[in-house]
Structure 1
């Protein structure tokens, strides 16, 4: 339990650096004299760094002692966030975010390997889920915490706080973490072969397309709520926390619904999310209704995640230790596209309001992909049963 607690804290600390940007985007843009859309490239660059860094670093560092590797990855995260806090110009801040992102997916993958090998085989899924919760918690709490720190002491203090958290995690790993002696160093590399399988690629595509819309809204909640919705900037941390509360409830409810009937509830949740995004576009200028919509979007946006994670785990059953890390890469593809496309919309003459409609359209694409993939999977199982009967 101590090992798991340390790993969860480190995963929370190192992944929070991605999500805090959503709460400080306007401040960064103003201070470094760039547009909000340009500042949104911080989200895109971080996501691209995670997508590239995860597979490449995991393969390159396969022969390194696992504890030493985790210490090195955390050290890079400390330096990257410290440089982000001190960056005098946007280009240096962007470079620091990319460097920090390169180690994030690899650390998450290594943490999964240690957690799974620390528990009996029948508890592997539980251990992966708990570590994934650390990353989910970073998304739920990262933005409101970052916004609160940024509103009190400036956006640089937000990155400084993350650097301190990663430094604490580094100390905990150095002093208290003892990886299991039988932790194979090449397991993660061998499991990367799962990327060659078509069902896994389809599952990852669903994760990417199905999440890009809601992530677009999440990344640009600050201008959507303050510039368009009429909320004062001081209320932003509370609204982001409300989003997190809705996301927490949605994560629990979505998992339960998916277990009961995945073929019904996963498409239904995606449809409800798309409808909510369209409804929010209609009430985008209403202070009260946008506050309610934020909670609904958080709830439905996280309710779809357990089903997507379960789909990846099911299609990559022979690669359990990297299944969640691979799924995270698909999620980062969505985050990269969300930051880029959302920035283009926010900087256009129409302002940020069309983000809601574009997000709804992308969510519907995820719904259609889910429906087709589910029908194909069901058809395959049905044909297999018929062959067995014959």
Structure 2
């Protein structure tokens, strides 16, 4: 028995078919994902252009993350009365303007402000895009629709971020962000032409969206995301360092393993969406349960280059499979607070990023070794699994009353 029985996303039909609309949404998540992850690869060029250290320059990444966490609920509430297509287009306008501001920023403080502004539409765009993607297909395919929309950010880690780093090395980091702004503008035009022309949600208001905070199932699902995803980010934060210093891989091999990591994310996203269409609960439990195993494997086998190759694929594959399942579940339990609940999932995702990186840094700082991020991540996955099992138990208890 599933934790919930209804899915409250109304079916809509795009004017030019599902596929063009789906690709327009994917282009948006690709552009925003490239903008987020791209700065990590551009930091050396960015720092050099401003004459500051990389450590000091890294604050622009934190500023963006802060924008994501704060912006997701604010944008969702402000856009409660808008049609989802209209809201997506306004979010992209803000994204494009933020990136143009980043290009023109003359100093670190201005760049931090621009990155914060650019981060504001991130969570709401991903959440609303998932809702729009799910609304274009029948219920039995909604998990896969969500995973397709989210595949844009997976492609951004494998293709977009490396290309932006290459562009920065040869043409400057401002050129790279100019390209990202252009991508956002192309996506804006694509959504205007291809996205379904839905109507504003009946009775939609800031008050109705805030109702998400009164739903225990929404809050517990978000908590599952914030804790359960933490291990993924803890391992990724120290992945290259661990591969270089413990696995003793040469630089070219570390880069190859990073590509394998990205492929694992893409595969997990696709498979996770298919499993979620069969059973959301099964997808979440399977993802979190298996992640405990593969993360313990990471801890035990980090010194082995041969063992690490499949593990570097499996860690992201298993955990990213959680994403479409949790996004779909939020649609099931959010009631009339769809936009806010879907957007908050990406705030929870960024909180998981902070928790995972903090725990990993603490374990490494306490000299447990670079492999310790594996068992630390396993603990976070186990915590997420326990929270979700409680969520299911409460849902079934409520259903039986």
In structure 1, the partner of 2:154 is 139
In structure 2, the partner of 1:212 is 230
Among 256, 280, 295, which residue is 1:274 paired with? Answer: 295
Structure 2 CA distance, aligned partners of 1:30 and 1:276? 39
Q: Answer yes or no: is 1:34 the counterpart of 2:53.
A: yes
TM-score, scaled relative to structure 1: 0.77
Structure 2 CA distance, aligned partners of 1:343 and 1:84? 29
Among 64, 87, 90, which residue is 1:46 paired with? Answer: 64
Q: C-alpha deviations, 1:111-142, integer Å up to 9, x for none? A: 4555556x47xx25745753553334313433
Contact 1:44 1:336 in 2 (8 A): no
In structure 2, the partner of 1:370 is 385
Secondary structure of the 2:35 match is helix
Among 115, 125, 144, which residue is 1:107 paired with? Answer: 125
Q: Answer yes or no: is 1:20 the counterpart of 2:35.
A: no
Structure 1 CA distance, aligned partners of 2:354 and 2:44? 19
Unaligned runs of 5+ in 2: 1-17
Contact 1:140 1:241 in 2 (8 A): no
Unaligned runs of 5+ in 1: none
Among 216, 219, 222, which residue is 1:201 paired with? Answer: 219
Q: 1:250 to 1:139 in 2, by over 3 A?
A: closer
- Written as runs of structure 1 = structure 2, the 5 A alignment for 1:1-390 is 1=18, 2-25=20-43, 28=46, 33-36=52-55, 40-63=58-81, 69-85=87-103, 87=105, 89-112=107-130, 114-115=132-133, 119=136, 123=138, 126=141, 129-142=144-157, 144-151=159-166, 153-154=168-169, 156=173, 157-174=175-192, 176-177=193-194, 179-180=196-197, 182-184=199-201, 187=204, 189=206, 190-225=208-243, 230-231=248-249, 233=251, 238-255=256-273, 259=278, 261=282, 265-279=286-300, 282-283=302-303, 290-316=308-334, 319-320=337-338, 322-338=340-356, 354=369, 356-358=371-373, 360-371=375-386, 373-375=388-390, 377-378=392-393, 381=396
How many residues matched? 375
Residue 273 of structure 1: how far off its partner (Å): 3.4
Residue 211 of structure 1: how far off its partner (Å): 0.9
